[in-house]
Every structure is written in C-alpha cells, then in structure tokens.
Structure 1
C-alpha cells in the first residue's frame, strides 16, 4: 500500500496528538472507575439522568482505610445538598446554602486544570507514602492528585475545602490534625449490624444487590448504542435490537426494585428496635431506592428515544 508524502509527513504530529488524547482519556477513565468502585453511581449514568453532581474521594497513604467520599448535588428544584458516600451506603443529605456551594465551586476551575509539570526529581530508592485524591463533576470532568506536597495543589485545595465543609455540616469533633486525617477519623468508622446472624444475612443481601447492580452500566450503554445505531440507519433489524436492549435495561431496573421490596423483611424486628443497626438498614434501603429512582429517569429517556425511532420508522413506511 502506498501513501502520499503529505500523509506521511502528517503522521508524527497526528500520532502525538492521538497519544496525548489517549493518555488524558485513560487517566479520566481511571478516575471514573475508581469513584464507581468506591460506591458512587457512575458519573455517565448520573449525567444521562440529568443530575448535576461534584465529588471528591480522599485516599489514605496506604490505601487501606474505608474512607467515604463526598458528593455535592444541585437538584432540579434548586436545592443544594452534601452527603457522604461509600460502598453499600449513603450518608445523610445535608442542605447547603448558595454561599457554601459557591465557597467550594469557586475552586473548581483550578482543580480541574491540567497540572503544571514539575522539574523536581524523586529518588527511586526512597519510598514515601502520602495522601492522594480523586475528583469528578458533571458532565464529564475528572482529576486527581498524587504524591507528597505542601498542600497547595489546586485539586488538593479543592478536596480539603469540600471535606472541611462536610465536617462542619456533620459536626465532627475539633482536632489539631490535618484536614485529611481528621476527616478520616470522623467518617471512616466501621458500620456493622450488631447481631452476628443478622450481620451475615445483611452481608449476603449486599452481595446479592451488588451482583445484580454491577452490569447496570453495561446494559445502559448497550441500550444507548443500539438506539444510536437505529437512529442512524432505521432498519427493522436495528430497531428491534434497540427495543430489546431498552427493555433489557427495564428488566434490570425491575430486578433491583424487587430486591428492595422483598429482601428487607427479615430485618424488620431490628429496624423496629432502633439503634445503630436500624440506621444502617434504613440508610441502605434509602440509598438503593434513590439509585433505582435515578436510573428510572434514564429508562424513561431510553423509552422516549425508542418511541421517536419507532415513530420515524412507521412514518417512512406510509
């Protein structure tokens, strides 16, 4: 195969641009994956459902502590909230004032800007463990900060501002420790059901939920891709494929809702007794229900797109 000289001359620059874009895309993808693995609903699902969120996730120097992340959300009705989020549970939602929201949102631009290149060189023979963090925001922003520093990196400044606001809302005890450790001690407490037998049942229920919930993003993505294909080329086959993919997401939603409706009855006595176990159970049910309700908005959007595709197909056959 022969190439023109113009094409050959353009290849190095094109490859460089492609490599840079792929590197950035890969880093952002890693941030999104890490946030989802830590208990947050995947950002593309939130954005597709019309939800406007900002998130931060601090990570301790050894990556071993169960530290929650913080999610701020601007709701459709204008309400502003903040809450902690971790695997299997969501914390209480605290209302924010416009001033509190602006206090941290004013730091966003710098936090998501590409980091400046550092001329400092690290000693490969010295192993140092320091805090790190991940950030993401609607519709598709992602950033991270790593390594030991003096705390002035914009992404870290933004993270600590959000954590400070969260601790103020949650009435965390004062401490002389730095922000990240103080947040860890305030929020990274083990959440367990008191009764061992009940705790085992709850762990089994959580595993069942996570197993059912895990493929949700892929099912949603397949439905959106199938609809896109049918919109581009409205053949009977592609429309049928889109319909099946959309209904598959509906079945996924129904399966999740069934778990919520039928699986908490063994815990009814513990909830009626109150206490810490009751709080964990109530928060878990509420978080799961909010998740399903949010994805219902995605499902409605898919159904509306499917209806438009089918309507165009019917009109073209007349």
Structure 2
C-alpha cells in the first residue's frame, strides 16, 4: 500500500505526468541503488523469497522475471534480483543503435491499469549492451536477452540483423528471446509468418547453443500460433514467450477512451485473459516451456498463469502499477504451494 499511496503517486507526477520521464527517473535511481552493496543485501533479505526451478536447462531461483522493455540497455541489472526477481530480460536490443519513435510514445491508462507504448526499440545497440554486460559481470540470476530487427534494416535482411545481435551477445545471455511480435517496428510482425520465421529461426539456431525462445503476439489466431509452434518444433526452439503487447483495445475503461485511441501496443490488465489463453494453447499444442506475460497484477494472476501452463512468468505493467511488493507476494504464493 505504501508503494501505491506514496511512491507511485510521486512517480506518476514526474515530468508533469509524462510516463517516459518517470521511467527514466526510476531507472536512474535503480542504477544508483545497484552500486550500494549494503542496500542491495538488505533488499534481498526483504524480497528474496524464492523457489528454484529448472526450465530449458537453466536454473531459475524464482519463477518471477522482469520482462523486456523495462531495462533495455541493462543499466540497473544488479537491482532487479534484490527486488525479488528470479531472472531478468534486457532489450529488446537491435544490431544498430536507434532512438526509437518520436515522442510522446508512452501513455498510461490508469483507470484500466494499462499502458500503451510505441517506443520502437529505442536502445544503444547490441555492441553497447555487450560492453555493459562485460563490465557488469554475473548478476546472480539468469539473464535473458531479447533481440529484434533494426528499423533501418529492410525486412529481407532481417536474418543478418538478428544474427549480428546474437553474435555480439551470445556469451552473456542465459537465453535469447527472438522478438518478432512488437507492433511498433514496420514489418516486424510479418516475421511471424511461417516462411519468414522458418528462415530466421533456422539461421539463429545454428549460431548458438544457448536456449532460444520466440516471443509471439496475442493477436495471432490459433491457426497462426499453430504454424509458429510447428516452425519452433522443427528447429528445436527451446520455448515460447506469450505474449507481447496487443493492438486490441478491448476491456478499456470508458475514461481511457481518448488515450486508448493512441497508436501502439497495449499491455496491462486488459490483456490478462488473452495472454493466459495463448499460454494454455501453446502448452497444450506443443508442450514447449512457456514464459507467461501479460496482465499479471496479483499473486492469483500469476498462479493462474502458471496453472494455464506457464513455467515462468514476467512482469512489466503490473510492476509499474503495483511495485516491488507484487514480486514478493507472487514469490510467497508460489513458495506456499
């Protein structure tokens, strides 16, 4: 309650209520916190209730992970495990540094407990991330790295673009997420089509022995998801991340109608049921390990995602609205099972 009544209220007012200002301020604070070892140790004692599980050959000291998009360039890596996260996914990172889409590009829909973003993979590039990870060293929990296509790279050259990022970062990641499902890079979602995905996954699978996962959109039909799963099975992909943001605006509160008309991908509570349904479908149809993400705001939400077939869960929007106590509540609920 302290987070929601005080901390969140302050953060949501930063920069005149600009969500991107709040995000950068939070990241800067966490980056400073990560350098203070006594503070990190204290936080670990408070938030670090965990239950070890092994998924696609990687040992995770907890089932709750930080989703890609929060710490794209890995500025606050040592802070996240101290807040109770059992793994951290950085990125999405691209072969070329890029500023992302024009601002404003991040919008809160507070009545719906949702966010719309059209960030456009703003990041410093794969080579810069590799340098930072080399300097940071191990963070004590598994590190996932989400890779995507640079905006300047034509879709027909996507394979080489992804390959550059994977080669630059393969020594640092415990697993790699192939992001072909963001709605904010032109042509990217077309890489989920069977022929394009077959070429991409086949080449990346040959590049690295590290676990590879494919992140899919919640807007795909069951038939389209089945085709994605067939490609993943054919190439020995290790798992699926379900799901990315949605283009749907179903479930928004009436007060959010104007902001809801903004272009971009929506995340948060309105996505919960669809994300859970996709997880259940993937689990039933393929048996591949699934990282479930989308609309997790309570411990019960996380348990329902796990019951649907997820092996692990990730937080993004729920963490923004609920803060670190959400991670602790989920960890305790999982430990109590």
Asked if TM exceeds 0.5, the reply is: no
Task: Name the structure with the higher strand share.
Answer: 2
Determine which structure has more spread, i.e. the larger CA radius of gyration. 1
TM-score by length of 1: 0.27
